[in-house]
Amino acid sequence: MDIPRGKEVARRKLIRRIVMIGAVLVAIPLITWGLSRLKPAAPEVERAAVWVGTVKRGPMVREVRGLGKLVVEEYIWIPAQFDGRIEKINFLPGDKLHASDILMVLSNPDMQLSSNDFEWQVKQAEANYTNLKVTLQSAQLQQRATTEQVRSDLMQADLTAERDEQLTKAGLKAELETKLSVAKAQELKGRYNLSQQQLDISGSSIQAQLDAQKVQIEKLKAAYDLKKVQVGQLVIRAGVDGILQQLGAGAPAPPLEVGQRVTPGTILAKVAQPLRLKAELLIPETQAKDVAVGQVAAIDTRNGIIAGHVFRKDPAAINGTIAVDVKLEGALPDGAVPDLSVDGTITIERLSDVVFVDRPVIGQAGAKITLFKLDGGDSKEAQRIPVQLGRSSVNTIEVLEGLKVGDQVVLSDMSAWDAQNRIRLK
Q: How many angstroms from the chain centroid is the CA of residue 333?
A: 21
pLDDT attached to residue 356: 93
Q: Is the pLDDT of residue 3 over 70?
A: no
Q: Is the pLDDT of residue 57 over 60?
A: yes
Can you tell me the mean pLDDT for 123-143? 85
Query: From CA 259, how far away is CA 89, in angstroms rounded?
Result: 10
User: Which comes out higher in pLDDT, residue 177 or 59?
Assistant: 59
Q: Is the pLDDT of residue 253 over 80?
A: no
Burial of 99 (0-12, 13-18, 19+ CB in 10 A): exposed
Q: Answer whether the bond into residue 252 is a cis peptide, omega within 30°.
A: yes
User: Which comes out higher in pLDDT, residue 115 or 174?
Assistant: 115
pLDDT attached to residue 298: 93
Distance in Å from the first CA to the final CA of the chain: 74
Could you confirm whether domain 81-104+235-272 is CATH 3.40.50.970?
Answer: no
Nearest alpha carbon to residue 91 among 81, 100, 82, 102: 102
**How confident is the prediction for the chain on average, in pLDDT?**
84
E-assigned strand segments in 193-340: 235-237, 242-247, 261-262, 267-272, 277-284, 296-300, 305-313, 321-328
Can you tell me the mean pLDDT for 174-198? 79
DSSP 306-319: EEEEEEEE-SS-BT
pLDDT attached to residue 1: 44
Most distant CA pair in the chain: distance in Å?
235
Instruction: For domain 50-71+275-425, give the CATH superfamily.
Output: Efflux pump adaptor protein, beta barrel domain (2.40.30.170)
> Torsions phi, psi of 362, nearest 5?
-100, 5
Q: How many residues does the chain have?
A: 426
Which of 166-180, 299-313, 367-381 has the highest mean predicted lDDT (pLDDT)?
A: 299-313
Can you tell me the mean pLDDT for 364-375? 88
Are residues 365 and 392 in contact, defined by beta-carbon separation less than 8 angstroms?
Answer: yes
Q: Is the pLDDT of residue 29 over 80?
A: no
The model's pTM is: 0.56
pLDDT attached to residue 5: 54
User: Which comes out higher in pLDDT, residue 344 or 75?
Assistant: 344
Confidence band for 38, pLDDT divided at 50, 70 and 90: very low
Cβ neighbours of residue 64 under 8 Å, at least 6 residues apart?
283, 284, 287, 288, 290, 291, 345, 346, 348, 393, 394
pLDDT attached to residue 219: 92
Can you tell me the mean pLDDT for 124-139? 86
Q: Is the pLDDT of residue 93 over 60?
A: yes
